[in-house]
Copies of this chain bind each other. A is one copy, B any other.
C-alpha cells in the first residue's frame, strides 16, 4: 500500500507538473531547480515579498530552506509561510544547520510554529537540535545516525503537527499513522552538497499533488541516488547522474529497488 502511494504520487507529479515555490539557499538553488524539473515538476525560485502573495496563490507548495539565512531573508521566509497558510498550501521546512547557531535554531522554530500544514526534512543532528535535545551540530553535516533522532522526530510531530523526514544512511518518515524506514541510497551521496536540500525540494513537489508525508520523495531520491552512485566515479558524476536518473526513473525500477519497511 505504501508502495502504491509512492507510485501514484510519482505519476501525479509527472502528469500535473506542480509549481513549487522555493526560498532556498544560494548554494543549492541550481541543483534543486534542476531536480524539480527532472522529476517533472515546475520550480519557481522567488523570494520577494512583493510578489509572494501572487506566487503562493497559484503554486502547489512552498519549500523553505534556511541554509544561507540572514536578517534580510528571514522576514521574507516568514512572510512566504504566512502566504502559504492563507492559501492552505503545504510548507516544507529544511532547517539546514539548526543547532550550529542560535539564529538558525530560533528561525527554524519560528517557521515551524507558523506553518499550518508542515513537513520537516532534516538530518539526524538537525532534527535533534530542532527538538531541543542535546546534539552538537557539526556545521551542516550530520554527526548522528538517523535512528537516534526518532524520538526527536516524534516530539516535532506532536509539537508542530508536522510530518517529519529524517535523512541519513536510513531515512525515516514519521507521521501519526506510521514510521517508515527506507534503506536505499549510497555512501557517496553525502559528498555532494545539497542532497538533503534536493530531498526537501522533491518533498514539496509531491506535497503539491497530495502526498504530504515526505515518503514518496525519500523513496524516489533514495533509489535514484543509489542507481546514480553505482554509475559514478565520484561526487561530480553522481550529481550529473542523479538528475539523469530522476528524469528516467520508472515505476518498475523504483519498486524493484525500494527497501521500505514499517518500524
Contact = CB atoms under 8 A, between A and B. Distances in A.
A97 B114 CA distance: 28
Nearest to A105: B51
A88 interface: no
Interface string A227-240: 00000111111011
Contacts of A38: 191, 234-236
Interface stretch (A25-33, A120-128, A160-168): A25-33
Interface residues of A, number: 63
Contacts of A42: 138-141
A2 interface: no
Number of identical monomers bound together in the oligomeric complex: 3
Nearest to A68: B45
Interface in A25-71: 25-31, 33-34, 37-38, 42-48, 50-51, 54-55, 58-59, 67-71
A59 B224 CA distance: 33
A233 B138 CA distance: 37
B243 A234 contact: yes
A45 B27 contact: yes
Interface of A: 19, 25-31, 33-34, 37-38, 42-48, 50-51, 54-55, 58-59, 67-72, 76, 97, 100-104, 138-141, 190-194, 232-237, 239-248
B45 A25 contact: yes
A51 B244 contact: no
A48 B30 contact: no
A193 B236 contact: no
Contact of A101 (B54, B67, B241, B244): B54
Contact of A193 (B28, B33, B101, B193): B33
A37 B234 contact: no
Given A30-B30, A236-B241, A43 B192 contact: no
A72 B103 CA distance: 19
Contacts of A58: 138
Candidate in A28, A43, A72, A101 with the most chain B CB atoms within 10 angstroms: A101
A93 to B, nearest CB: 18
Contacts of A50: 70-71, 101, 103
Given A19-B138, A192-B34, A48 B29 contact: no
Contacts of A27: 29-30, 33, 45
Nearest to A55: B101
A103 B71 CA distance: 22
